[in-house]
Every structure is written in structure tokens, then in C-alpha cells.
Amino acid sequence: MIETHAHLYAEKFDEDRPEMMDRAVEAGVEKFYMPNIDHESIEPMLEVEDRFTHTIATMGVHPCSIEKHFEKQLYEVEDWLNKRKFVAVGEIGLDFYWDKSLMEEQKEALKIQIALAKKHQIPIILHCRDSFDETYEIVKEMKDDALKGVFHCFTGNAVDAQKVIDLDFFVGIGGVVTFKNGGVAEHIPDIDINRIVLETDAPYLAPTPKRGKRNEPAYLDLIAQKIADLKQISKEELVKITSTNANQLFA
């Protein structure tokens, strides 16, 4: 399995990170992609990348980290992208769940970071909480042959998923698919399996029956099994297809 979205550098893992990583490998996770959050997460993220094999850093500023004067944050992102190779720009996007006062700043920061991804010819990892339509419109407007990516933590319906797929993007499915009233499970049968990638968003959004506890990449197995059941195929086939998808996304 390929974990396409986990914050392995989070403080919640500080006490048992090696053991947590061992559990993930034992569960069958072979590769881990780590989206950045802000300037404070860069150093711990790169330390994890140096310490653990098959952990891969990306670079970006999360929409909830966008402030009124965000330009300095994005200069730092640009500087890092120029200094070394990153596989994606992320985690970027829009989040109107907590606060709508910085909507325009978030939109501008998203556009700038999409432009950086196009410049460096790497994909984007999109966060769009309570903002799917707005995020989709910005990506559609800026889409060209150089732009690809994933709508992470997808919780929409099959129509929304098809919009994502028509942009040549992938759909990131995580623990919400296991929630009783998560709203995404019923749409999985109608979403093209060749555009689905697996993620946990660890340490957040632990799948059932671990819901409410700290999430970790080992639980990717529970997510894979749930999607396989909904698709009425074996977990092995599901893992093979989604891993191919992930490799294509980050190629």
C-alpha cells in the first residue's frame, strides 16, 4: 500500500514514531508521502524524511495557516522548491469551515502555489473543506497539461468525483469512507477505481473502529478493506490498483 497523505512529523507521534512506522510497514505500507503545513513543520518533516526510509516530503502552506499577510510564507515555499527536489506542492487549498474572514487571501495563496507547481512541473495536494466548488473552479481555471494532483480527503459525491477525474486529477479516500454517516461510502461504487488513491491523514480522522483515537498509517489497511468491499473486489486487487495510481500521481 502507498500512504499518500500522512503528517508523520506531527507532535502526536513524538513519543513512539519508530514503533508507529514499524506497525505501518508490518501492515503493508511501503511508501509514505508527507504534506507540509506551514513554516514550523518544515524542519520536523525533513527530519522524518532523513530518518525513515520511504518517507517523502512535499512543500506548501495549508489554507488554515494562511494569514492576512501571507506573502512571506509563500516566499519560503518558493525558496525551498528552488533549493531541492520535492515531489509535490502541498498541502494547499481552501478551508471555509473554521473561518471565512480570509477567503480571498486563501484563494490568492492557492493560485500562487498552483503556479509554483506548474513552474516546477510537480503535482498539487489539495485540501478543500467546505469549499469544493471554489477550489474546483480555481483549479479548472488554471488547468493545463503541466498541472495534475489529488483532491485529498474527498468527501463529495460521484458527480463531484467525476469533475475531479475530468481534470485528470485523483481522488484521495481516507477514514471518512468507514464512517457510518460519512457521506462518501455510498458513492465509492460509482467512482473510477483507476483514479482513487489511499490516505489516512494521520494523526487525524482515524477510521472505524479506531475512530476518536490517534490515526496512523497502519490503519490504511482498514481503509483499503472498506473500499475493496464497496467495490466488490479483493483487497489485494484494490491495493495493486491504488498503488499504481499513486505512483502515477507522483511520477
In this prediction, residue 102 has a pLDDT band, given cuts at 50, 70 and 90, of very high
Residue 243 has a pLDDT of 98
Alpha carbons 32 and 2: distance in angstroms, whole number:
6
CA distances from 89 to 35, 79, 115 (A): 8, 13, 10
Alpha carbons 177 and 248: distance in angstroms, whole number:
23
pLDDT at residue 14 is higher than 90: yes
Q: Which parts of 84-212 fold into alpha helices (H)?
A: 103-120, 132-142, 158-166
Q: For all residues of the chain together, what is the average pLDDT?
A: 97
Structural domain that includes position 170 = 2-249
Residue 99 has a pLDDT of 84
Q: What is the mean pLDDT of residues 110-129?
A: 97
Residue 91 has a pLDDT of 98
Which 8-state DSSP code applies to residue 194? Answer: G
CATH code of residue 164: 3.20.20.140
Return the percentage of the chain with pLDDT > 90, whole number: 97
pLDDT at residue 162 is higher than 90: yes
pLDDT at residue 227 is higher than 90: yes
Number of structural domains found in the chain? 1
Alpha carbons 115 and 66: distance in angstroms, whole number:
17
Q: Which helix (H) or strand (E) holds 33?
A: strand 31-34
What residues pair up with 194 in beta bridges, in sequence order? none
pLDDT at residue 165 is higher than 90: yes
Q: What is the mean pLDDT of residues 236-244?
A: 98
| pTM metric for this prediction | 0.97
In this prediction, residue 98 has a pLDDT band, given cuts at 50, 70 and 90, of confident
